[in-house]
Structure 1
Amino acid sequence: MNDSKDNIWTASNNGIVVYSPERNNVDILRKNVSVSSSLTSNVITCFYEDFNGTIWIGTDKGVNILNTNNQFNYILDQVNLGDKSIVSILENKGKIWVATKYNGIYIFEYPTGKLLKSIYEINDEISLKDKYIKSLFKINDRYIIVTTNNGTISFDTEKLLSKLHLVEDGYASELNYVYSDGDIVWVASTFNFFSCDLNTGKKIYHSDNLIKFNINPGRINYILPDYKDKDILWLGGVDTGLIKYHKKNGVIEQYCNDCSYGNSLIDKYINCMAFDREGKMWIGTNIGLIKFDIETNQITQYTTANGLTNNFINSILFDDNNSVWISTNKGLNKFDIEKESFTKLDGLSGYQFNLNSGIKLESGFMIFGSTNGVVYFNPKDIVSPKGSNNKVVVGDMYIGKNKAIYDGNELVYKI
């Protein structure tokens, strides 16, 4: 078979030979029992290339699908991280920090992708061996916070120092989210919501204000700065709904599905939030995606009924064209705001991504962490799948060695 790129595919009883005239190179594809995505058999019977450039391979043990137009890259294909579950990613001074759940942190040089350092046994006093990582937070170019299930570790990237913080004012506490606006760090922990002045170290607790509105401060797990008002924060979390919060005056408004506010959210469980360049807020929940116009209070809801691959939203990013990229528990989706349409990304439809493990780099590249490693790509290089009105024509069908009779309506099995 000659494919659309003029490659020559040759079938045999011992795999596939692919000759590329452009590269003057020969590739051999065979079954590999140690690779789950390899051919199911070396006995090749036929080939077919569809309109998306995907090669369908017939063997004596079923059909195999090979996507030669793969537009995504996978770090686990290049580096063994020891743990496939990637829980957090951040960029700092030309380096990419990748946190695995159980096997420490890996620091890569960007854009070369060279592994510079791994962090697991930090020193005699600090180790990640008996902990699992929850998230990474960048305070500024110098300080990075690592939250775990057993304390918080702060890294001074200039002096290469680290410090373990086990308690918060004498009580064991985990940090749910950390946001820095420059001089002030805003922290949501399992007990409190507070701010800390980086220059003086002074803490101010804001939990009482939240409690007045029947909001449990320990349930806040996301903090988003307003896109134009530096005094406004937007808070979200578990059983909280969306909270508009003034840094000095406290709660301004709460939006949730059983609040008195009429145009309420579909769910009180908020996983992530982001603003597009038009100032619209996009909210990821456990049961779908929400677009919220903060000027008119208009809410638009999107679920699997509208084209999402899954309703559990883990991360929301925007590319340079203002398209929305949404990672879910079952794949990556692209949403065209102007066309109001979703695109399911070929090759990633079954991926389970991790909560808040997506990042857009200054270069425009996007990186998403999943339970099966890291996926990274340039959105400009991603081509949406083509559509086709081709009809499927059913020929002969067999169940084992017995032919099944198909009359166009139902299968009739005869022995």
Structure 2
Amino acid sequence: MIDKLKKIIFIISMIIITNENLVFSDSNISNNGGINFKRITIEDGLSQTTVEYIYQDSDGYMWFGTDDGLNKYDGINFEVYKYKGEDENSISGNIIVAIIEDNDGYIWVGSNDEGVNIIDRSNDKVYRLDKEGELNSLLTSTDITVINGYDNKIFIGTNNGINIIDKDKKEIIKYLESDSSFDSDKSKIREIYIDKDKLVWIGTRDGLYTMDENYKFSNLNDIFKDNNINDRVISSVYEDSDGEIWIGLSIDGGLVRYNKDTGKVINYTSNDKNGLSYNSVKDINGDSSGNIWIATNYGLNKFNKSENKFTQYTEKEGLSNNFIYGILFDEEENPWVSTNYGVSKYDINKEKFVNFSISDGLQGNEFNGYSYFKASDGEMFFGGISGLNSFYPKDYKEREIKEKVNISKVQINGKSINFDDVIKLGRENNSIQIQYFLADYRNVSKIKYYYKMEGIDDDWISAENMNYVSYNNLFAGEYEFQVVAINSYGDMGEVESIKIIKDPPIFMSKTAFAIYLIVIAFILYRRWNRVKILNKLVEQRTEQLNNKLVENKILYEQLINQEKRKNNYFINLSHELRTPLNVILSIEQLITVLNKKDNHIDKKKLNHYMEALRGNSKRLLKLINDIIDTAKIESGMYKLDMKDNDIVYLVEELALSMKDFIESKDIELIIDPEIEEKIIECDAGEIEKCIVNVLGNAAKFTEAGGRIEVIITEENGFVNIKVKDTGIGIDKKDMKSIFDRFGQAYNKKTEEFGGSGIGLSLTKQIIELHNGELLVNSELGKGSEFTMRLPEKQP
């Protein structure tokens, strides 16, 4: 097997893949310092360009998971595994997200939504674990996210819990969403990491857990809670050489350092002085010196444990792009990172970046997360959106360029001149342009020039990659123009210079005296004209003040109108509160009087009184609850319980429950869903509240003999719930204010029908908390149509 592995490595090292064909490596010398990038694409046999996952088995073969099949690569040829319908000896799905080899040499392959496949290479068999009655019937989900393992234990993470396959005990242990350890987002596994003590670290979208060799779970979410860390979406877990655990958080939680022996927790964020460059962590890795390297959505970070200090690296320090996916280390401990604009190597000795892009042979400038791998012989693989690249970092040799900047062209007043070490300017020459270049053609865009004119500029001026500079209106005297360049590798060359001498003016000429007279006349004219200018400035300032007064008046009127709307709101609210209270008090007084007179209250009347008492109490309670809910939403304290619900069933059941109430008002209710079933993520209780508010509002403003229609449609990932009535409608001038509880129109109609305006305001706020929107279309006297637009999936 060792000989076979050596042979594969030898073949890989001799072959380089170009954009078109396979050619020998010496025919594809890179433009960037002599490194050979193999570019592997569809033309070379790769099944699909988007590479999601990379793995090397014990025989040295490389496995590439793509969005359209699994690829086995021996350095020359590809063997592609794809789903082939009824062929049971094919993989069950083509979107490959996880690959691992077990101790028996079986390849375990996880696919997106199609379960797990086990490839037996010795017998050329594929076991598809996606059928009832086979192993997958025992898995918690076919939506695989990550696979890892040790010894004879395989851990399969899904979007609905984790599964442990113990090959020694021949048993499967699963933890479902319904288990106490996992619920909701906690069951969506994003990371499975096995430390040196064989403790399994399980990162989810909402927390962190560990599992020992006896499958005992420990919930570590208290380390986040106790340290006020709200972000619990785990992106990566890493154990350093000291046994400390480093946890990357994906949203805005930054980096967590956890000592599993002492329980000590430190949270590093970008809010700290000299902290992380950004709080969204993509990858964590460590070098042999004990430094921790962190990839974020905005820059690369190195944490020195002995100094307890972060060093940030961004585009400002020479990084090719700030969005980083993965980190790999070469034999000299230099980190190589994949970004959204190529691959960057950081030379730790020279403290500079060397950047590689598509012009150097990369598959493209954009790479993918989780698609990076360092093989056993040191070869690095980075997968992107147009294939993948492999290379040996040890082959990289920087070629130094020591040439000076060349001053190639000089123009005086727009005309080119011949020049040597000294340039002489006549009295009439006052404009000079100097062009220069550095003979480094590997990546011209990365060259940076600096220049200064001795006698004018105190410091060096950065020209970036602009290779010319112009000076105008030079005074008489001697100058020295100096220019220096930093090449594409970040090395600064030697300074090139040229002298410039401008002849002095003739002070005593007639032309000079004429100029003096003109200047004096001009100064006198300016003084005479100054008063006029000042008067004009005063007029302009006066006009500005008047405009400001007008603006203040408008703002004052707007404030008055706002206060009026608030006053109308509280008047309307007082009506709503007073009506049920008056009914309750009247019933209480009536019953009290009857009791004092010892008059017997028959059961029918008592039931009537109690029904009125109950209905008005509920009305009062709903109004108060709406006020409280609105206050909670505005303060950010309102919480939603998002779950999968059949929105069609929910709306139909709720509408039917209100049918008797609506039809008792002699209003026809029509329920007309265009779809039979639709599962969306929502808080069922809150959506019910919205539907009740909108239906109740329609019933309130629709007169007897009218009609209310409830229509359900779907469109581009959204569900539309329309409530259409033939009621009084809404005036166009009031359309913008119906969802504003302070701006709710208060007039005879609203006073007649009742309503504080809280219901629609609360409904709009709840729908927007679901990332949806509440739309209204109405015409006065003809009715209204309210549309609750809800997304199928929450972001």
Give the alignment's TM-score, normalised by structure 2.
Answer: 0.37
Does 2:290 correspond to 1:279? yes
Percent identity, aligned pairs only, is 31
Mapped partners of 2:144, 2:292: distance in 1:
28
Mapped partners of 1:369, 1:155: distance in 2:
29
Mapped partners of 1:141, 1:373: distance in 2:
33
- Aligned match for 1:71, one of 4, 12, 36: 36
C-alpha distance 72-361 of structure 1, shift in aligned 2 (>3 A)? same
What does residue 361 of structure 1 align with?
A: 375
C-alpha distance 372-206 of structure 1, shift in aligned 2 (>3 A)? same
C-alpha distance 304-361 of structure 1, shift in aligned 2 (>3 A)? same
- Aligned match for 2:312, one of 301, 310, 332: 301
Higher helix share: 2
C-alpha distance 368-335 of structure 1, shift in aligned 2 (>3 A)? same
- Aligned match for 1:103, one of 68, 83, 100: 68
Aligned partners of 1:90 and 1:137 also within 8 Å: no
CA shift for structure 1 position 299: 1.8
- Aligned match for 1:235, one of 247, 252, 258: 247
Aligned partners of 2:53 and 2:64 also within 8 Å: yes
Matching residue's letter, 1:303: T
Matching residue's letter, 1:89: I
C-alpha distance 196-53 of structure 1, shift in aligned 2 (>3 A)? closer
Aligned partners of 1:210 and 1:250 also within 8 Å: no
What does residue 48 of structure 2 align with?
A: 83
What does residue 48 of structure 1 align with?
A: none
Does 2:127 correspond to 1:115? no
**SS at 1:209 equivalent:** helix
Mapped partners of 2:169, 2:57: distance in 1:
15
CA shift for structure 1 position 263: 3.6
Superposed, 1:152-301 pairs within 5 Å as 167=177, 169=179, 171=183, 173-181=187-195, 182-197=197-212, 199-216=213-230, 218-227=232-241, 229-230=242-243, 232-238=244-250, 239-259=252-272, 262-301=273-312
CA shift for structure 1 position 103: 2.6
C-alpha distance 329-85 of structure 1, shift in aligned 2 (>3 A)? same
Deviations 1:6-56 (A, max 9, x none): xxxxxxxxxxxxxxxxxxxxxxxxxxxxxx968xxxxxxxxxxxxx967xx
CA shift for structure 1 position 342: 1.0
Matching residue's letter, 1:140: Y
Does 2:347 correspond to 1:333? no
Matching residue's letter, 1:318: F
What does residue 413 of structure 1 align with?
A: none
Matching residue's letter, 2:51: I
What does residue 561 of structure 2 align with?
A: none
**Where does structure 2 lack aligned partners over 5 or more consecutive residues?**
1-17, 21-27, 83-90, 94-116, 118-127, 417-432, 436-795
Mapped partners of 1:53, 1:97: distance in 2:
27
Mapped partners of 2:415, 2:170: distance in 1:
70
Aligned partners of 2:283 and 2:325 also within 8 Å: yes
Mapped partners of 1:365, 1:210: distance in 2:
38
CA shift for structure 1 position 378: 1.3
Aligned partners of 2:277 and 2:300 also within 8 Å: no
Aligned partners of 1:309 and 1:349 also within 8 Å: no
**SS at 1:310 equivalent:** coil
CA shift for structure 1 position 383: 3.5
What does residue 60 of structure 1 align with?
A: none
C-alpha distance 156-189 of structure 1, shift in aligned 2 (>3 A)? same
**SS at 2:311 equivalent:** strand
**SS at 1:250 equivalent:** coil
CA shift for structure 1 position 212: 1.3
C-alpha distance 81-75 of structure 1, shift in aligned 2 (>3 A)? same
CA shift for structure 1 position 82: 3.4
Matching residue's letter, 1:193: L
C-alpha distance 335-107 of structure 1, shift in aligned 2 (>3 A)? same
Mapped partners of 2:170, 2:38: distance in 1:
31
Deviations 1:79-126 (A, max 9, x none): 5443321122233423433222x33433445x6765375644442425
Aligned partners of 1:210 and 1:251 also within 8 Å: no
Aligned partners of 1:92 and 1:141 also within 8 Å: no
CA shift for structure 1 position 137: 4.3
Aligned partners of 2:223 and 2:265 also within 8 Å: no
**SS at 1:308 equivalent:** coil
Matching residue's letter, 1:244: R
C-alpha distance 96-167 of structure 1, shift in aligned 2 (>3 A)? farther
**SS at 2:150 equivalent:** coil
Matching residue's letter, 1:222: S
Aligned partners of 1:317 and 1:359 also within 8 Å: yes
Mapped partners of 1:304, 1:349: distance in 2:
21
**SS at 1:380 equivalent:** helix
CA shift for structure 1 position 210: 1.4
Give the alignment's TM-score, normalised by structure 1.
Answer: 0.67
CA shift for structure 1 position 150: 6.8
Does 2:103 correspond to 1:138? no
RMSD: 4.1
Aligned partners of 1:257 and 1:267 also within 8 Å: yes
- Aligned match for 1:381, one of 392, 395, 407: 395
Mapped partners of 2:173, 2:45: distance in 1:
27
**SS at 1:266 equivalent:** coil
What does residue 46 of structure 1 align with?
A: none
Mapped partners of 2:174, 2:43: distance in 1:
32
**Where does structure 1 lack aligned partners over 5 or more consecutive residues?**
1-35, 39-51, 55-65, 395-404, 411-415
Mapped partners of 1:303, 1:83: distance in 2:
32
Mapped partners of 1:146, 1:117: distance in 2:
20
Mapped partners of 2:69, 2:163: distance in 1:
12
**SS at 2:202 equivalent:** strand
What does residue 351 of structure 1 align with?
A: 365
CA shift for structure 1 position 254: 1.1
**SS at 1:222 equivalent:** strand
**SS at 1:339 equivalent:** coil
Mapped partners of 2:276, 2:35: distance in 1:
37
Aligned residues, how many?
332
C-alpha distance 329-251 of structure 1, shift in aligned 2 (>3 A)? farther
Structure with the greater relative contact order (CA < 8 A, sep ≥ 6): 1 or 2?
A: 1
Mapped partners of 1:391, 1:287: distance in 2:
37
Mapped partners of 1:369, 1:384: distance in 2:
24
Matching residue's letter, 1:241: G
Mapped partners of 2:143, 2:77: distance in 1:
25
Deviates most, 214-223 or 236-245: 214-223
Mapped partners of 1:300, 1:283: distance in 2:
10
C-alpha distance 373-246 of structure 1, shift in aligned 2 (>3 A)? same
C-alpha distance 382-137 of structure 1, shift in aligned 2 (>3 A)? farther
Mapped partners of 1:132, 1:331: distance in 2:
31
